[in-house]
Amino acid sequence: MDAAYSRQSITQFMENSWTDNATLVGLDQVVKAIADGTRLVHEQVQSAALTDVLGETGDINVQGEFVQKLDAFGSDIFVDLLGKSGRVAAVVSEEIEDPVVPGYGENQTFIVHTDPVDGSSNIDVAISIGSIFGIWARTTDDEVSHDILLRPGREQVAAVYSIYGSSTVLIIATRGSVNGFTLDTQQSDFFLTHPNIRMPNKCEYYSINEGNFKKLDDPMQAVVTNLREKYSLRYVGSLVADFHRNLLKGGIFLYPGDNKNPNGKLRLMYEANPLGFIAEQAGGAAFSADLPILDIQPLDPHQRTPLIIGNADEVMTVVDTIKPS
């Protein structure tokens, strides 16, 4: 790493990089809340088997899925800290059916959609998991409505994800910039370790659940067959972990619709949109089946979508292959 980035904390980075950008005023407080929450989730992940956060709560979320204990913990933490930041007017969480609205003050200028703990079922077997955040500017002083909450991903001002693995890393994207910060557990702070991230031009890996191959339609089966011949398969089953590897090493991730789930299983607003924004800012691409993810007009906060994301050339090859003739 360049010496110029040595030991630059996340706070120093935001002060140095965002001060003169009017569209990002107050974003530092939102990111600080996310970073603080990430540290708390990190602590729970590191001691999961010792602190009774493995397994399910017994509840079912709005998706019809069993809620993991870590899901509930993460959602409570991030919703609370984002509300206390004083900069967030509404938070939409995967684990909560309706948006949480901290208030409408003049400084509450952001709306956040979050998957607070992505891949949480993997915590029981010590596989990397993550947290995902899409951040939109509040565009009106009106009370939060579906119209205000449901805006295309291209209108995001920033997107963030954290990954809890061999180290805990926070990736932050604003327009034209993607940077990564690693948690120093001794100082309890994040420091810049991955400046100016660009997705490699060369695709090394493909990531898809091969167990669903027979459920795919013929064009998508042809895509997967072609990918097998060109690249190595890497699939963790944790969206953040698979995307993070492909972002740094070069690859493509696919979770298409199939005959069981024609609309896919991933959520548009707090999974596909934030990661799609990060991918595009890093030189990659993200599509559903035929549309750029960031151009989809959302209809529901918990809407699902197919997702093809990663190396731009390979994504476009897939899109061209599955496009109806």
In sequence order, what DSSP letters do the residues of 203-257 get, joined into one string? --EEE--GGGGGGS-HHHHHHHHHHHHHSEE---S-HHHHHHHHHHH-EEEEE--
pLDDT tens across 126-147, in order? 789 999 999 999 887 667 777 7
| Torsion sign over Cα 315, 240, 151, 174 | negative
Domain spans of the chain, in order of start: 3-194, 205-322
Per-residue pLDDT for the chain (325 aa), expressed as one digit of tens each?
A: 444 446 899 999 999 999 888 889 999 999 999 999 999 999 888 865 545 655 555 566 666 666 667 888 889 999 999 999 999 999 999 988 888 988 888 899 999 999 999 876 777 777 899 999 999 998 876 677 777 899 999 999 999 999 999 899 999 999 999 999 999 999 999 999 999 999 999 999 999 999 999 999 999 999 999 999 999 999 998 999 999 999 999 999 999 999 999 999 999 999 999 999 999 999 999 999 889 999 999 999 999 999 999 999 999 999 999 988 7
| Torsion sign over Cα 20, 25, 31, 33 | positive
CATH number for the segment(s) 3-194: 3.30.540.10
Q: What are phi and psi of 140, to 5 degrees?
A: -150, 155
Please, where are the H alpha helices in the chain?
A: 10-18, 27-46, 69-84, 146-149, 218-230, 239-249, 273-281, 312-322
The one-letter amino acid code at 318 reads V
Widest CA span in the chain: 57
The one-letter amino acid code at 284 reads G
pLDDT tens across 61-97, in order? 666 666 667 888 889 999 999 999 999 999 999 988 8
Confidence at residue 60, expressed as pLDDT on a 0 to 100 scale: 66
CA distance linking residue 214 with residue 239, whole number of Å: 21
| Residues near 53 by beta carbon (within 8 Å), at least 6 away in sequence | 44, 69, 70, 73, 123
| Torsion sign over Cα 293, 289, 275, 43 | positive
CATH number for the segment(s) 205-322: 3.40.190.80
Where are the extended beta strands (E) located within 126-221? 129-137, 156-164, 168-174, 177-184, 189-194, 205-207
